[in-house]
Amino acid sequence: MKEYSTEKIRNVALISHATVGKSSLAEAMLYSAKAINRMGTIDDGSTVSDYHVDEINRKFSISTSLLHCIWNDSKINIVDTPGYSDFIGEVVGALGVVETAVVLINAVAGVEVGTETTFKYVTKKNVSSVFFVNLCDKEHSSFENAVSSIQESFGAKAIPVQIAVNCGEVFNKIIDLLQMKLITFDSDGKASIGEIPDNLKDQANAARETLVEAIAEADDALLEKFFDEGELSDEDITSGLQKGIISGTISPILAGAAAQAMGSEQLLDFIATYCPSPGKNAEVKGTETNGEGEVNFPATSDSPLAVQVFKTISEQHLGELTYFRVYSGRMQASSEVYNSSRNKGEKIGQLYVMNGKKRTDVTAIAAGDIGAAVKLKDTHTGNTLCLKTKQLLLPEIEFPQPVIRTAIEPKKKGEEDKIATGLATLHEEDPTFIVTVDPELHQTILSGQGELHLDVIIRKLTEKYHVEVELIEPKIPYRETIRKKAEGQSKYKKQSGGRGQYGDVHLRLEPMKRGDGFEFLNEIVGGVVPGKFIPAVEKGVVEATVAGVISGCPVVDVKVALFYGSYHNVDSSDMAFKIAASMGFRKLFKEADPVLLEPIYNVEIRVPEEYMGDVMGDISSRRGKIAGMDAEGKFQVIKAQVPLAELYKYSTTLRSITHGRGIHSREFSHYEETPRDVQKKVTDAYEAERENN
């Protein structure tokens, strides 16, 4: 395969809510470009992009798939992404390596909540956007309603460049507003071009005028010409539309029915003609780690090598497959590069361009292009590859925070190391999956983007590493504190022949402000407790705070003062004073009106308006407090604070309440006191566990 120059490359990501037809559109684009001989389907598991066993069995995308085709002498890289929010990390990684997002919209349902969520990352990463209204061949589909939904959600910058004429089961016509022609599709998706019929000319002319005005407004010179002449030339429209897409002032809307390959050729034409190349006004921004600090340079093959890995996957019989984008320079097969993220050299063997699981060897990959390599030893998702003589570090990929956590236990003893190795590897493949061994809770905690996400991770763990784990509810990292002051004496005295043990302390416990932590004060006067024993007293108190008193969880926001005591010249020792202090702290803590603190999370829930009541009722049943509500397009955003203890498996409940149309995010906020009934339940369980052990 020949090497394509930067200006002949187009990088696009297909994004949307689930089940809107991204993989079908990718299939249609490959078919239209003659990259494949026949179109596969989701139902029979034969699409190029959804080739993993899990994807075939579940009938939806789980992993980003890298595809490409040649159209009008341009290489179009297509990054097909999953639609379910559980795999949002795949979308984030993909949007970091493309210039254009093709956003699929359901012609029946309009903009859905998953589309709104992913579009936030389009905006954040400054990626150009093109809307494709899909499923125009479905019953109850409406191009006009879909356009209204897009403009309501994303603003007036979304402008049709096509009109789907006869949406519904008989759909086969669109009007091209740029060429002002009627395109009619046959049953195989092949297009014939004709004149716009009289009964559609008024609609087409009005839409064309709106489009031309939007293009003119994207460029001051064009706007002045439009005011003077009332029209723009074809060349003006082409250059103005290109500028508008790059600047983000125009987001064109196209239409089709991907499963029938209707509209896929026209989409390819549009991408090749109007969407930006990687080098269009682009600069690479990074940090030169062995020299000048922050640097900028053109995104060309003549610039220093700067490559970022956006995905790693482990393929059976192949090993680790690394997907990367060359931002500048030229990546060559059989070369040596430097991983500046890990400060390690890396040998590049063969290079590939991908179509799903099919690999095609190439000798080099130019700036702006996307490719793959295998068996890189120390390179993982997010890493930067460069030359050792010109060490550069690209900005890290920022992945979303987890929204779900669970704990695991091995089903068989002795497999802990295999499980740990497997989980570490799976995290390298998918940074949105996080594994931590919590020393406080004595549990291995898995965190991810949803139950479906973790289910896929566990399945991979079982299939690749031949270990089985059991999912269990994770413990909650409670904290203990007190409400009032308490003081008293604690004496540890032991005599069993020979030298005994003697330590006598008088302690005072006081509550502190929330978040102040722990403080130990030495208020001894006159040497009633010798200075050499004070550290042992403090150590005994600190160890007691770490172990907890009523729940086994750490103590916080307590001030402890040692204000009196006594000692024995022979029998006193560090150990005796440490034990006396620990015993005294535990005793006084129970007398100081102890209270349990629980972690509270800020939760943001995005749902269609019709589910507001049910979702808010569910939040209230979880001891949550509604903090506010905002309207975003046709969706409502509920902001609440909810105890972590009440969020276990919440994503599943939300999906059930909203029929899959609601999503949520969460982040830690603060600790606050638990209700008395919750505290009693936790402390009773702790005491029962201690008795059993």
Q: What is the mean pLDDT of residues 103-110?
A: 97
Q: Answer whether residue 586 shows pLDDT above 90.
A: yes
For 418, list phi and psi in degrees, rounded to 5: -65, -40
Computed over every residue of the chain, the mean pLDDT equals: 94
CA distance 246 to 127: 8
Whether the Cβ atoms of residue 161 and residue 147 lie closer than 8 Å to each other: no
pLDDT band of residue 591 (cuts 50, 70, 90) is very high
pLDDT in tens, 521-579: 999 999 999 999 999 999 999 999 999 999 999 999 999 999 999 999 989 999 999 99
Question: What is the per-residue pLDDT across 382-441, written as a single tens digit (0 to 9) for each?
Answer: 999 999 999 999 999 999 989 899 999 999 998 999 999 999 989 988 999 999 998 888
* Least confident interval from 84-93, 159-168, 170-179: 84-93
pLDDT in tens, 475-522: 999 999 999 999 999 999 997 766 789 999 999 999 999 999 999 999
Per residue in 112-152, pLDDT tens?
A: 988 988 999 999 999 999 999 999 999 999 999 999 999 99
Q: What is the pLDDT of residue 291?
A: 65
pLDDT of residue 281: 64
Give 570-576 contacts, CB < 8 A, sequence gap 24+. 570/499, 570/500, 571/493, 571/495, 571/499, 571/500, 571/501, 571/502, 572/502, 572/503, 572/530, 572/533, 573/501, 573/503, 574/533, 574/535, 574/536, 575/501, 575/536, 576/492, 576/494, 576/501, 576/502, 576/503
Domains observed in the chain = 6-274 (3.40.50.300), 283-393 (2.40.30.10), 404-472 (3.30.70.870), 480-592 (3.30.230.10), 596-678 (3.30.70.240)
pLDDT digits over 14-37, tens only?
Answer: 999 999 999 999 999 999 999 999
Looking at residue 632, its pLDDT comes to 82
What is the mean predicted confidence (pLDDT) over 660-671? 91
Average pLDDT rounded to a whole number, residues 584-603: 98
